[in-house]
Chains A and B, each alone.
Chain A
Amino acid sequence: MNKKKKASLLSFFNSPKTAPYVFVAPFILFFLVCYVYPFIKTIIMSTQQIFGFNDVEYIGFNNYRRLLNPHFFNALKTTSSYTFWTIMVLIPLPIILAVFLNNPATKGKNFFKSALFMPALTSVIVAGIFFRYSFGEQPTTLVNTLVGFFGMKPRVWLQERGPAMLALVVLCTWRWLGVNIIYFLSGLQAIPQEIYEAAAIDGANAWNRFFRITLPSLKPVIIYVVTISIHGGYSMFAESFAFWQTHTPGDIGMTIVSYLYQMGFNDFNMGFAAAIGITLLFIVMLINLIQLAFMGFFKKEGN
């Protein structure tokens, strides 16, 4: 009896029809509980005014209508320019560094690789606090000392729009440079050496080899990195939080997620915060789709 039961159970798990479902079940469950449920709940919340514990009222699209305010548009602008600058820095710079690291003539590769990758392992808050003090306004802080070497006067970095953005982008670069280098390195190593040899025989110089062979071959990696950078840029929060907590002076460093956090927790307006979240989702999706279409991701091979 017992044996029979065991056997039927075994055959159930072994059958080619059910086995795949058994294997994916943990993921599906996780996905349903941790992604789909909160997502649906957020959509529902975004149409509610939440007053307090067990005290909720349906208000339709009012939360979305409230989004048309200067704070939100300012946050959208800040976030977009942050994303733009991080992509401007974090695509070319890691490509160049990866090319150097991939060059057989480079010495101490492993040291540079790990040194560049190390920052990615620190917590954003720890790194953020370090940078917060580096960008402090006393003449003795790290950044003010550095600019002092170039004859510049110490300045208040975190209370002006331009310098504040610079501080955010520098922090982001410091943290993510190594990760992007790894992506591009793996892309570089996938390029067959023969192509370079053939090009060399045809008389192509290093410059041409880089622009005609390396860059086009890296395109899939570049598309991937841009896509995750857009997502990462628009969901940026911790960096801004580490610099200013929740009250960035004059909203200079307030990103969309900071705004969401502020509305949700500072003002305890969870419904409105949910509406910001849903709007952010659609903005990021839209931008990603445009970018992918622009970069030819949806074109079929050979077209």
Chain B
Amino acid sequence: MRKVILSLLVTLLLTSMVLPGFAAGPTTLTFWTFQELHKTFMDDAVETWNKNNPKQQIQLKTEVYPFDQMHNKLLISLQSGVGAPDLADIEISKFANYLKGRNPQLVPLNKIIEPIMDKLIKARFDNYAKDGKYYGIDYHVGATVMFYNKEYLDQAGVNVDQIITWDDYVEAGKKVVAATGKPMTTVEVTEHWTFYPMLSQYGTDIFKPNGDVILDNADNTKVLTFIKDMIYKHEIAVPAPGGFHHAEEYWAFMNQGGAASLMMPLWFMGRFVQYMPDLKGNIIIRPLPVWKPGGDRSAGMGGTGTVVTKQTKHQDLAVRFLEAAKISREGAIKTWTLLGFDPLRWDVWDAPEMREDNMYTDYFGKDIFTMLLEIKDEINPTVITDKYPLAIDLLKKNVCFKALRELSQTPEEALKEAAKELRQ
């Protein structure tokens, strides 16, 4: 008798373990990211997918790791052939690492990208391509803009729409400093989000398209010197507290109204909403001042490509889900409504949804998208090569720090030294 009960129990236990697998339940996909916001976005995309595909339900298991940890874990699991997730986010400055070698361990996404290429911003896909194959889909265009603190500008009697060139910006900065005692802006000295957008906007780059290093050319030297002069000669800028615009010190400083303006890509709106709530209603967004009349008013910066790894067991499903989540019409619109990003699909930029209220319009006002449409053709592509991770690293650690903060090298020396190392 006892045996019967026991065997019954065992069978029960076993079936309960096996059954969920058979219950035509949702397919589980795993997704690694380093950004909590991306998890929210993907969770929403899964909900939409499950509504549209009742027969092929998805359950997304998302792991949010710290930035470095996630990239290393992914690199090691791809290198060793086991343990990688189905989908993963790879930040642009790290992406080149995953494309090294003859056989990248990522699934080419041409099949979903090429049919709608005419509606997409090609430059943002070329960042993640190798040998004609596209391996990643970004979240945004990353147009760099200027966030102004309206209160300070009003106090100083500065009309924001009369700041046309960078020289105007410096003059306005002097008025702001005189009237409010606050610096006009902050400059990143341990990362590259001040120098890199400004050089891209100027029309120069780190590499030439053929891979030659041009980091130490005269244009780049001029841009870096200009930034240095803003801090030490015109005294309208300060090195960002904490060293960069993502430091906790910086958010605290800025939230208390630390500086009158800030240049960052549009996706920094999310950081304002999340970490600097006290500035709500006080920040207005404008295109960048230009270097010369008629020059470009923005630069496409940053980015994170979502990839499908070759280790996935549901390749087709993962790819189709990625398409629906990020480059379908609905998905592209969601990148704006949920994340406050400028979508990769031009054809949704004038969609009615883009004009609706959301937490970003609550914070920054309603005309963000009108302004964005204005500058959409003024974004230069950036050249990304195998050496890009090293180049960004050198910009962060050496060039910006030594030339702008430590002052142990002149802009020219710092750029020469970094370029020499990149050429090796």
Q: A residues touching B (Cβ–Cβ < 8 Å)?
A: 51-55, 69, 133, 136-138, 158-160, 245-251, 262, 265-268, 270
B102: contacting residue among A52, A246, A265, A266, CB under 8 A: A52
A159 and B406 CA atoms in complex are apart in Å by 8
Q: For the complex, what is the distance from the CA of A248 to the CA of B104, rounded to whole Å?
A: 30
For window 262-288 of B, CB contacts with A under 8 Å fall at none
Of all chain B residues, which has the CB nearest A263?
B390
Question: Taking the complex as formed, is B126 at the interface, i.e. its CB lies under 8 A from any CB of chain A?
Answer: no
- Is the CB of B180 closer than 8 A to any CB of chain A? no
For B195-219 the 0/1 string (1 means CB < 8 A from A) is: 0000000000000000000000000
A137 to B397, Cβ gap below 8 A?
A: no
A158 to B67, CA, bound (A): 20
Given known A53-B81, A268-B100, contact A247–B242 (CB-CB < 8 A):
no
Query: Given A51-B102, A52-B104, A268-B75, are A136 and B249 neighbors across the interface (CB < 8 Å)?
Result: yes
Bound complex: CA A69 to CA B394 (Å): 14
Q: Select which of B71, B241, B397, B406 is within 8 A of A138 by beta carbon.
A: B241
Closest B residue, CB atoms, query A158: B243
In the assembled complex, which residues on chain A have CB atoms less than 8 Å from the CB atom of B397? 247-251
B380 at the interface (CB under 8 A from A): no
Q: Is B257 an interface residue (CB 8 A)?
A: no
A55-B97 in contact (CB<8A): no
Looking at the assembled complex, report how far the CB atom of A263 sits from the nearest CB atom of chain B, in whole angstroms.
Answer: 9
Q: Decide if B105 touches A53 in the complex (CB within 8 Å).
A: yes
Which residues of B are in contact with A by a Cβ distance under 8 Å? 67-68, 71-72, 75, 78-79, 81, 94, 97, 100-105, 189-191, 241-243, 248-249, 252-253, 389-390, 393, 396-398, 401-402, 405-406, 408, 421
Q: Across the interface, do A159 and B75 meet the contact criterion of CB distance under 8 Å?
A: no
Q: Please give the distance in Å from B91's CB to the nearest CB on chain A.
A: 11
CB<8 Å pairs between A and B, sample of 22 = A52-B102, A52-B105, A53-B103, A53-B105, A133-B248, A136-B248, A137-B241, A138-B241, A159-B243, A245-B68, A246-B393, A247-B191, A247-B396, A249-B405, A250-B401, A250-B408, A265-B71, A266-B94, A267-B389, A267-B390, A267-B393, A268-B75
Q: How far is the CA of A266 from the CA of B102 in the complex (A)?
A: 19
Q: Which residues of B contact A158 (CB under 8 A)?
A: 243
Q: A160 to B190, alpha carbons, bound, how many Å?
A: 12
A270 vs B101: C-alpha distance when bound (angstroms): 13
Q: Is the CB of B241 within 8 A of A55?
A: no
Instruction: Report the separation of the CA atoms of residues A262 and B93 in the bound assembly, to the nearest whole angstrom.
Output: 13
Determine the residue in chain A with the shortest Cβ distance to B66.
A245
A53 lies within 8 A of B389 (CB): no
In the complex, the 10 A-B pairs of residues with the closest C-beta atoms, listed nearest first: A52-B101, A51-B101, A268-B97, A55-B101, A249-B401, A249-B190, A265-B72, A52-B100, A250-B401, A247-B396
Given that A137-B241, A247-B397 are known contacts, is A55 also in contact with B406, CB under 8 Å in the complex? no
Report if A55-B408 is in contact (Cβ < 8 Å); known contacts: A136-B248, A268-B75, A268-B97: no
Given A137-B241, A247-B396, A249-B243, A265:B68 Cβ within 8 A: yes
Query: By the criterion CB–CB under 8 Å, are A268 and B68 in contact?
Result: no
Give the Cβ gap from B384 to chain A, nearest Cβ, in Å.
Answer: 14
* Additional A-B contacts beyond A69-B421, A247-B190 (9; CB < 8 A): A52-B100, A138-B252, A159-B189, A245-B68, A250-B401, A265-B71, A265-B75, A266-B97, A267-B393
Of the candidates A52, A138, A245, A250, the one whose C-beta lies within 8 Å of that of B103 is A52
A268 vs B249: C-alpha distance when bound (angstroms):
31
A53 CB contacts on chain B under 8 angstroms: 78-79, 81, 101, 103-105
Is B405 touching A159 in the complex (CB atoms < 8 A)?
yes
Tell me which residues across on chain A come within 8 A of B389, comparing CB atoms. Answer: 266-268
User: Which residues in A have their C-beta under 8 angstroms from that of B189?
Assistant: 159, 249
CB contacts (< 8 Å) of B249 on chain A: these are 136-138
Interfacial chain B residues near A136, Cβ < 8 Å: 242, 248-249
Chain B min CB distance to A66 (Å): 8
CB–CB A250/B248 < 8 A: no
